[in-house]
């Protein structure tokens, strides 16, 4: 990655920004960083937190772009952070996006949620650039839930299109799907 300035395994043909410098030591990176962005599959989220915990600075702040829930417990990832790391400023970055499109600079809208208001404003400003529109929220459960279940709606919309059910059916599916997500969110404690 250092030589090619791209991640050929996960983002081939997408140039890494000059400010993004690949490193070979996770420990030295974590020890020297206040703000840490985590982007791993949900099944590796807890183990990464356990690994980095002893290296975190006292003023560390965590943001993750990991979608989903912890598979073994069904827990929201902010609950996993609180359990493993303890009381640390944390935020979740989520939204309908694909890494390759973000990397190519295509228009993208995301949401960052955090209960830490002052830091939330700063994190939004860090990510809000060019074609990336970033919204803020205090609803960590709602943003995580939306990020996890939106793909179910996308698949259903794709099936509807594949079966040639038309725009009315797709619109009804999306409208009713959003209502179901709202009800699910309320039942799980989302704002």
Choose, from 53, 67, 115, 150, the residue flagged as catalytic.
150
What distance, in Å, lies between the first and last C-alpha atoms of the chain? 40
Nearest to 148 by CA among 72, 75, 79: 75
Encode burial over 18-42: b for 16+ CB neighbours within 10 A, e otherwise.
Answer: eeeeeeeeeeeebeeeebbebeeeb
Pairing of strands 90-94, 108-114: antiparallel
Task: Quickly list H helices, 163-191.
Answer: 166-187
CA 118 – CA 52 distance, rounded (Å): 24
41: CB partners within 8 A, 6+ apart: 66
Active site residue 67: no
Which residues are known to be catalytic? Answer: 150
């Amino acid at each position: 990655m250092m030589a090619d300035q791209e991640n050929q395994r996960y983002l081939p043909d997408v140039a890494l920004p000059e400010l993004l410098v690949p490193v070979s030591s996770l420990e030295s990176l974590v020890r020297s960083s206040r703000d840490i962005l985590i982007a791993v599959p949900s099944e590796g989220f807890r183990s990464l937190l356990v690994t980095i915990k002893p290296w975190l600075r006292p003023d560390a702040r965590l943001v993750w772009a990991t979608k989903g829930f912890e598979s073994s417990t069904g827990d929201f990832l902010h609950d996993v952070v609180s359990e493993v790391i303890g009381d640390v400023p944390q935020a979740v970055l989520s939204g309908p996006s694909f890494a390759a499109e973000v990397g190519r600079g295509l228009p993208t809208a995301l949401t960052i949620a955090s209960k830490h208001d002052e830091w939330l404003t700063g994190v939004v400003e860090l990510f809000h650039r060019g074609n990336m529109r970033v919204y803020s929220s205090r609803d960590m459960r709602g943003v995580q839930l939306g990020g996890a279940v939106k793909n179910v709606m996308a698949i259903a919309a794709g099936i509807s299109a594949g079966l040639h059910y038309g725009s009315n059916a797709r619109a009804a599916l999306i409208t009713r799907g959003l209502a179901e997500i709202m009800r699910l969110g309320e039942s799980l404690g989302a704002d």
